[in-house]
């Protein structure tokens, strides 16, 4: 015969397991809804090239970037839906053994305020599906 203590213990354990499963115990993050974003960046009417567009959502702990091409276009194929601060990033320098001084990428030719999420004033609200966010810098 099974003792009442064992039955009570088994009931508590099964209940705790059920609560953890339903409530998400175990540290897993909720599944985020994803989208894509693309667009162009221009400064004084000309495409911004060679750097990155950086989307930052600190509360959600998301920072993603898209590389600017020769026409100022960028694309991020998968990024969580949400509100973002946006800034521009200079191209990274080449590794020491990759290129000579003449081949080093130049910093973006935009005011420095656009190179920080806290000062750029650029924002984006990304919705499910495909988003287009063009940034025209004066």
pLDDT over 80 (residue 104)? no
Q: Do 114 and 60 belong together in one domain? A: yes
Q: Do 26 and 39 belong together in one domain? A: no
Q: What is the pLDDT at residue 17?
A: 39
Q: Do 82 and 127 belong together in one domain? A: yes
Q: What is the CATH number of the domain that holds 73?
A: 2.60.40.1120
Q: Do 17 and 58 belong together in one domain? A: no
Residue-number span of the structural domain to which 57 is assigned? 34-137
pLDDT over 90 (residue 87)? yes
Residue (of 36, 88, 87, 79) closest to 60 by Cα position: 79
Q: What is the pLDDT at residue 12?
A: 36
Q: Do 39 and 26 belong together in one domain? A: no
Structure tokens at 121: 């004033």
Q: Do 23 and 47 belong together in one domain? A: no
For the chain, what is the domain count? 2
pLDDT over 50 (residue 56)? yes
Q: Do 25 and 51 belong together in one domain? A: no
DSSP class per residue in 39-96 = EEEEETTEE--SSEEEEEETTTTEEEEEE--TTSEEEEEEEESEEEEEEEEPPPPPPT
Q: What is the pLDDT at residue 101?
A: 56
Q: Do 75 and 113 belong together in one domain? A: yes
Q: What is the pLDDT at residue 32?
A: 84
Query: Do the Cβ atoms of 110 and 135 come closer than 8 Å?
Result: no
How many Å apart are CA 105 and CA 89, to the nearest integer?
A: 12
Q: Do 118 and 69 belong together in one domain? A: yes
Q: Do 109 and 71 belong together in one domain? A: yes
Q: Do 14 and 72 belong together in one domain? A: no
pTM score of the predicted model:
0.72
Which of 19 and 97 is assigned the larger pLDDT? 97
Chain center to CA of 42: 21
pLDDT over 60 (residue 71)? yes
Q: Do 71 and 109 belong together in one domain? A: yes
Cβ within 8 Å of residue 50, ≥6 positions away: 68, 91, 105, 106, 108
């Amino acid at each position: 015969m099974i003792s009442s203590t064992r039955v009570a213990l088994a009931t508590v354990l099964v209940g705790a397991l059920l609560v953890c499963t339903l409530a998400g115990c175990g540290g897993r993050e909720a599944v985020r809804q994803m989208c894509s974003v693309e667009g162009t960046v221009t400064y004084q009417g000309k495409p911004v090239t060679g750097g990155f567009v950086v989307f930052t959502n600190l509360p959600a702990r998301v920072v993603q970037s898209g590389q600017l091409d020769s026409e100022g276009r960028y694309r991020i194929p998968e990024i969580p839906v949400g509100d973002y601060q946006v800034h521009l990033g200079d191209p990274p320098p080449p590794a020491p053994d990759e290129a000579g001084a003449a081949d080093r990428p130049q910093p973006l030719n935009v005011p420095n305020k656009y190179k920080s999420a806290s000062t750029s004033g650029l924002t984006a609200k990304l919705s499910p599906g495909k988003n287009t966010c063009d940034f025209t810098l004066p």
